[in-house]
């Protein structure tokens, strides 16, 4: 048995009996399996399950043996505090959460079609990287181009629907909706969800009140992200901490846990604190930009709008808030700009047109 196969079983709910129960006998109703996480942290994020009569929202961790929780030292990693269900092949040890309660565990060894597992092992052993890769050269060029275009349109429609929902949630507040969309795009795939959460707990109507001051903007966003650790003694960070404490009292905001963020396999320019500081500078420099984006007529105009650099002495020598590094410019480059355009600007413009049309 291996964890990849268990991930497959959970993701597609391929059990021999749909009526799954925890080790203590409570029935488990899987409402949403969660998003498969291939980076650091729990294996499935933002899952929703009903255990007995209680509905839970959080993360799911998967292991061969339940004792692997301790073998992997998850008990000392705050990123696993939000695990609501432990899915294992064999339940050989109870796992106790930080609050002293046992984490509900589902054992799978009696719920597996072992013939499927044998097929799986055979396929993994023999299959090429892409199962149909030998036939790709036989596909006509027009079919390839049409497939790529169709996939691009489908992705755009999906992202536009997400943004349209944001416009409805914010009652047509274009600045709030775009702020959330932009935050998610700044996180790319690895930190999209933490960035999205940052935008939710830092409403744009609050952020707007401080963004005329670059340091206050940084302090609010970095503080809300959980990055302003009181133990940091750098004068620049201490100033941010003092500013954030004042803003907390003024606006009554609450930070997110810093364990929400992922750094594994990230290049330093993509570290969350760098992207958050760039986001703060973008709004400090440009102000509320959703309306300006809707009025832009060329890609060059948009690129100039997003052309920013962290040029303070602190940011020139830091990729995080605690360790000094070689002096390097922290620019929002061409590639990052295009990612923002594809994942935020274009979907926003499409959804804005649909939203305005619906209100006519």
DSSP character at residue 99: T
Q: Which helix (H) or strand (E) element contains residue 303? A: helix 299-305
**How far is Cα 128 from Cα 106, in angstroms, rounded to an integer?**
33
For residue 126, the tally of other CB atoms under 10 A from its CB is: 7
pLDDT in tens, 170-180: 888 999 999 99
The pair phi, psi for residue 23, each rounded to 5°, is -60, -25
Please check the confidence at residue 232 and state whether its pLDDT lies above 90: no
**Where do we find the tokens 């949403």?**
32
Distance CA 21, CA 85 (A): 11
Q: Please, which residues bridge with residue 32 across strands?
A: 48
Which stretches does DSSP call E strand in the chain? Answer: 20-21, 27-32, 35-36, 44-51, 54-65, 83-90, 105-107, 309-310, 330-331
Stretch 1-27: mean pLDDT: 91
> Is the pLDDT confidence value at 130 over 70?
no
Tens digit of pLDDT for each residue in 267-302?
Answer: 899 999 999 999 999 999 999 899 899 889 999 999
User: Whole-model pTM?
Assistant: 0.72
Render pLDDT for 297-334 as a digit per residue (tens, 0 to 9): 999 999 999 999 998 999 999 999 988 999 998 988 88
Per-residue model confidence (pLDDT) at position 85: 96
Asked if pLDDT for residue 120 goes beyond 90, the answer is no
- pLDDT: which is higher, 120 or 305: 305
For range 204-229, the mean pLDDT: 95
Measured between alpha carbons, how far apart are the two ends of the chain, in Å?
58
Angle (CA) 146-149-155 rounded to 5° is: 140
pLDDT of residue 263: 82
pLDDT band at 190 (very low <50, low <70, confident <90, very high): confident
pLDDT at 239: 95
287 vs 30: CA distance, rounded Å:
43
- Exposed/middle/buried for residue 123 (C-beta within 10 Å: 0-12, 13-18, 19+): exposed
Q: Answer whether 21's CB lies under 8 Å from 108's CB.
A: no
Mean pLDDT for the stretch of residues 64-70: 96
Banded pLDDT at 30 (limits 50, 70, 90): very high
Contact 222, 242 (CB under 8 A): no
Mean pLDDT for the chain?
Answer: 89
């Amino acid at each position: 048995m291996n964890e990849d196969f268990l991930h497959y079983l959970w993701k597609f709910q391929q059990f021999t009996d749909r009526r799954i129960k925890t080790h203590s006998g409570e029935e488990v109703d899987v409402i949403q399996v969660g998003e498969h996480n291939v980076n650091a942290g729990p294996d499935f994020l933002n899952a929703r399950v009903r255990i007995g009569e209680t509905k839970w929202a959080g993360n799911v961790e998967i292991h061969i043996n339940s004792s692997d929780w301790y073998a992997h030292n998850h008990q000392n990693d705050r990123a696993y505090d939000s695990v609501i269900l432990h899915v294992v092949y064999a339940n050989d040890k109870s796992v106790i959460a930080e609050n002293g309660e046992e984490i509900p565990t589902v054992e799978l060894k009696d719920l597996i079609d072992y013939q499927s597992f044998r097929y799986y092992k055979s396929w993994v052993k023999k299959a090429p990287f892409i199962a149909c890769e030998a036939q790709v050269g036989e596909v006509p060029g027009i079919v390839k181009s049409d497939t790529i275009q169709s996939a691009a349109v489908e992705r755009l429609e999906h992202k536009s629907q997400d943004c349209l929902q944001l416009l409805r949630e914010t009652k047509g507040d274009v600045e709030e909706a775009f702020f959330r969309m932009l935050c998610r795009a700044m996180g790319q795939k690895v930190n999209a969800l933490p960035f999205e959460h940052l935008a939710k707990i830092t409403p744009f109507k609050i952020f707007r009140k401080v963004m005329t001051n670059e340091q206050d903007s940084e302090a609010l966003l970095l503080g809300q992200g959980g990055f302003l650790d009181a133990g940091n003694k750098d004068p620049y960070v201490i100033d941010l901490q003092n500013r954030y404490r004042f803003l907390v009292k003024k606006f009554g905001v609450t930070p997110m846990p810093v364990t929400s963020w992922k750094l594994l396999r990230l290049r330093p320019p993509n570290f969350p604190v760098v992207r958050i500081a760039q986001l703060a500078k973008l709004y400090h420099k440009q102000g509320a930009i959703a309306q300006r984006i809707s009025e832009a007529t060329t890609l060059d105009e948009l690129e100039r709008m997003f052309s920013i650099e962290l040029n303070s002495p602190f940011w020139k020598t830091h990729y995080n808030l605690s360790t000094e590094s070689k002096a390097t410019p922290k620019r929002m480059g061409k590639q990052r700009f295009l990612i923002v355009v594809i994942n935020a600007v274009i979907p926003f413009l499409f959804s804005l047109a649909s939203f305005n049309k619906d209100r006519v």
